[in-house]
Amino acid sequence: DGGITQSPKYLFRKEGQNVTLSCEQNLNHDAMYWYRQDPGQGLRLIYYSQIVNDFQKGDIAEGYSVSREKKESFPLTVTSAQKNPTAFYLCASRSSGTGPNEQYFGPGTRLTVT
Amino acid sequence: AQSVAQPEDQVNVAEGNPLTVKCTYSVSGNPYLFWYVQYPNRGLQFLLKYITGDNLVKGSYGFEAEFNKSQTSFHLKKPSALVSDSALYFCAVRGRKATTGSYQLTFGKGTKLSVIP
């Protein structure tokens, strides 16, 4: 998990509340990603950013929002519009050098909404 | 669109025996393939990748993977399993998204490996 921090590790919220998950990296990576992990479904891409002040929707962006104001930070907001927000959320980053470089993952945040 | 299949939800192997975790893929263009491991309540850790060249790729912790283009497979292997290898393993393929033209990873659903003492 080195170089990428996510906080908090566990997060509990009431239905109808927005919540923001933090992701910070000190790897000097240009690209950052947010994934959602549900049991038996693997990882699904929510949003990604290849450069500061720019981001794109992934496969399941509805009900989520992001910002990328600094290279090191890529916070994810889970809005009240997300119908099933309870999940394990993983942030990742990748160097944008030449070649298909691997992504490095943070330790994850487990969000429970009741 | 690219896809990854991990046909086994769970693999059980005795400690000291060889292990194989299967992965098949579908992607347009050159396949760039990755294996990651996840321990409970942790993030994913990179094990190895295939970009080009030798079909047998060596990675971390004694793992290796064999790329087979004709069978579109990228199976993960280890000659002698350890109890500490018990974890969830993900195969992923890098492909270009048709709508945006950007590259993204597509993951399989994961295979739970249990190494029995």
Dihedral sign for Cα B29, B30, B35, B36, please.
negative
Q: Nearest by CB to A40, which of B42, B44, B109? A: B109
The pLDDT tens digits along chain A (114 residues) read 459 999 999 999 999 999 999 999 999 999 999 999 998 888 999 999 999 999 999 999 999 999 999 999 999 999 998 999 999 999 999 987 667 789 999 999 999 999
d(CA A31, CA A94): 5
Task: Please name the residue of chain B whose CA is at the shortest distance from the CA of residue A33.
Answer: B104
With the C-alpha atoms ordered B49, B54, B59, B64, is the resulting torsion angle positive or negative? positive
Give the Cα separation of A27 and B72 in Å (integer).
Answer: 33
CB contact under 8 A, A105 and B107: no
Query: pLDDT per residue over A38-47, tens digit each?
Result: 988 889 999 9
Of the CA atoms within 13 Å of residue B75, those in its CB half-sphere come to 13
- Binding-site residues on chain A for chain B (CB distance < 8 A): 1, 4, 6, 40-43, 45, 48, 50, 56, 58, 88, 90, 92, 99-100, 102-108, 110
